[in-house]
Amino acid sequence: MYKDTNIRSVAKGVSWRVFATTTTIIIVYVFFGRLDLAIAAGIIETFAKIALYWAHERAWVKIRWGRKKIEPFNLWFTGLPLSGKTTIADAVYKELEKLDIPLERIDSKDIRELIPDIGYTREDRNRHMHRVGHLIKTLQNNSISTVASFVSPYSESRKAIREMVKNNVVVYVKADIETCKKRDYKGKYAKALVGQLQNFTGVNDIYEEPQHAEIVIDTDKTSVEEATKIIIKYIKAHYVK
């Protein structure tokens, strides 16, 4: 959130004066044909109206009436490991930053570093999701929208998130399991496939496909750029008008 400072109000007063006073000088000159009168009117007006503009602007800063609270949304990226959640969510976040709305990026790796003692059993993941939901809810209370990316493989935890937060937009980042294995730059599938990782989604744990996702991105057919455009278009149509 940003707050208009005093100096900004003064700068606005000065910049507006350049336009407005030039107009006044032209009008006086056109009507009276006297340049001395036009310049005198311009000088008096400049000083008087910068002060009046500043007072008017600062009074309006204090008035709440007519202000609309920004409605926060939560973009929730779900999908198999290496389906492309982080890549697309990062690109979307970068675009959303340009809209100048209060925004936070929440990625599974950051949260798992923040809350390290959590595993990958169904119970642990659901507990983890509940904490993340609480975090998003707290941010939303301060009008902060979120771009969150988590495997979130179980329908019950996605349902819990939907119930906890406002304006939840589920983006199902879809990729064939074979595609994900090929994208394994983290070496996680390789480890899971030889039994070094337990409860690894897609190998020895299930991924329950979302049935009611607002947006589905098939990354086998859709590029990161195209996916970003689709998601930004949705957000602009529904939340940032």
Ligand X SMILES: Nc1ncnc2c1ncn2[C@@H]1O[C@H](COP(=O)(O)OS(=O)(=O)O)[C@@H](OP(=O)(O)O)[C@H]1O
Task: Classify residue 234 as exposed, middle or buried by CB count within 10 Å of its CB (0-12, 13-18, 19+).
Answer: middle
Contact between 172 and 213 (Cβ < 8 Å): yes
* Binding test (CB under 6 A) with ligand X, winner from 16, 29, 54, 120: 120
* Binding test (CB under 6 A) with ligand X, winner from 13, 25, 91, 128: 128
Task: Give the 3-state secondary structure of 167-210.
Answer: CEEEEEEECCHHHHHHCCCCCHHHHHHCCCCCCCECCCECCCCC
223 binds, among ligand ADP, ligand X, none (CB under 5 to 8 A by kind): ligand ADP
Which CB atom, from 42 or from 84, has the smaller least distance to ligand ADP? 84
Contact between 127 and ligand X by CB under 6 A: the answer reads no
* Binding test (CB under 6 A) with ligand X, winner from 201, 219, 222, 228: 201
Which CB atom, from 13 or from 79, has the smaller least distance to ligand X? 79
Contact between 175 and 189 (Cβ < 8 Å): no
Q: Tell me the two tokens of residue 181.
A: 């294995």
Question: Taking the mean position of all CA atoms in its chain, how far away is CA 241?
Answer: 13
- Which residues in the 60-89 window bind ligand X by CB under 6 A? 81-82, 85-86
* Binding test (CB under 6 A) with ligand X, winner from 146, 152, 222, 228: 152
Please indicate whether residue 223 is annotated as part of the active site: no
Which of these is catalytic: 152, 155, 157, 223? 152
Taking the CA atoms of 130, 131, 135 and 136 in sequence, report the sign of the dihedral they define: negative
Interface positions with ligand X (CB under 6 A): 81-82, 85-86, 108, 112, 120, 125, 128, 150-153, 186, 188, 197-201
Catalytic (active-site) positions: 152
